[in-house]
Structure 1
Amino acid sequence: MNTFLAPFSRPLPAAIFIAIALLLDQAIKLAVELYLPLHEAVPVMPMLALYRTHNLGVAFSMLADAHGWFIVGLRIVIVAFVLWLWKRTGPGHHIAHLGFAMIIAGALGNIIDRFVYGHVVDYVLFYTQTWSFAVFNLADSFISVGAALILLDEILAHRASKA
């Protein structure tokens, strides 16, 4: 697994991954904006639907009342911070480097939405008859999975240091 993830410790492969992730994210969001009705659930399978909505805030619509440029600035600061972390993290932390690339791709994808649409396009809805999760998108998934990978890398590094 480390051999497969090793390229993400180098700038060019990480940048290529980020570019591909951004293209995929933006292509899906364009299709959602063009073809998915607004605020109408389109069932895909039990407990999963496509549901186009517009998020004016950040994750889970937090800061929805904040000025759009504040949100963009906040995301740019986050991208810069994650780039700084990526650079400072040792080359042996392949899982963390993939996580950093995923977070950067997700944050940039949502920044692009702000410039293109004026809001973030969300479209994935998990639900039951009595509960539903916040509507999210692929970029949000990149951010969440990336953060989980960074935590996993920290746990594995901590365990390895005790061995």
Structure 2
Amino acid sequence: MKDLTTKQSGVRWLWLALLVFVLDIGTKLFVMDTMGYGWANRIEILPFFNLLYVHNYGAAFSFLSDAGGWQRWFFAAIALGVSGLLIYWMRCTPASNRILNVAYALVIGGAIGNLFDRLVHGYVVDFLDFYIGNSHWPAFNLADAAICVGAGLIVLDSVRASKKPHAEAE
């Protein structure tokens, strides 16, 4: 991989990571300031969607949420490491590669949004609750959604790149 100048590289797309971070933190602060905590205080929006203020001390699907506290720093280190790696990859990716740079920016913005929560609160604020009948998807937030969309775009870009003829890829 070669480093490109800032003007030519995907680093130009970091504005999107900042936007994701600001929207994520803004919505979490709004939820914390306006909603009561827990299931009894959920707000039913649609027959399949609630707003629900909960804390997640772990990672996705509350993974390691009851691990005793060390997981806070473990997930913080992962967020910093992944974000640093993605910024490096953005520096090596042409700014014209929109899909990949948008993907990296979404993951970075989401990771830093959840990192902020872990460092400031000791947990991540979740508030989006989708369900069918009595089966609920684990509550999540905008940062989680951005990370998932970004990861999906990375996979999409990888699949698209693998289908290009070898000569075109060089």
Q: Please report the TM-score for the alignment, with normalisation by the length of structure 1.
A: 0.86
SS in 2 for 1:127: strand
User: C-alpha separation between the residues in 1 aligned to 2:79 and 2:105?
Assistant: 14
Show CA shifts across 1:18-53 (max 9, x none).
112111111100001111111122111111001111
Q: Which runs of 5+ in 1 are unaligned?
A: 1-6
Contact 1:8/1:97, CA 8 A, preserved across alignment: no
Q: Which runs of 5+ in 2 are unaligned?
A: 1-6
User: C-alpha separation between the residues in 2 aligned to 1:151 and 1:74?
Assistant: 20
How many residues are aligned here?
156
Show CA shifts across 1:55-81 (max 9, x none).
111111112215122221121112122
Most deviating of 112-121 and 80-89: 80-89
User: C-alpha separation between the residues in 2 aligned to 1:43 and 1:54?
Assistant: 19
- CA shift in 2, pair 1:36/1:8, >3 Å: farther
Contact 1:29/1:121, CA 8 A, preserved across alignment: yes
- For 1:152, the aligned partner's letter is L
Deviation at 1:159, TM superposition (A): 2.2
Most deviating of 91-100 and 49-58: 91-100
**Other-structure match for 2:140:** 136
Matching of residue 121 in structure 1 with residue 120 in structure 2: no
**Other-structure match for 2:150:** 146
Show CA shifts across 1:67-105 (max 9, x none).
122221121112122223333345553201110000000
Matching of residue 10 in structure 1 with residue 6 in structure 2: no
Contact 1:106/1:139, CA 8 A, preserved across alignment: yes
Contact 1:99/1:150, CA 8 A, preserved across alignment: yes
Matching of residue 75 in structure 1 with residue 71 in structure 2: no
SS in 2 for 1:57: coil
Instruction: Provide the alpha-carbon RMSD of the alignment.
Output: 2.1
Runs (4+) off by over 6 Å: none
Q: Please report the TM-score for the alignment, with normalisation by the length of structure 2.
A: 0.83
Contact 1:32/1:123, CA 8 A, preserved across alignment: yes
Matching of residue 107 in structure 1 with residue 111 in structure 2: yes
Larger radius of gyration: 2
- CA shift in 2, pair 1:159/1:92, >3 Å: farther
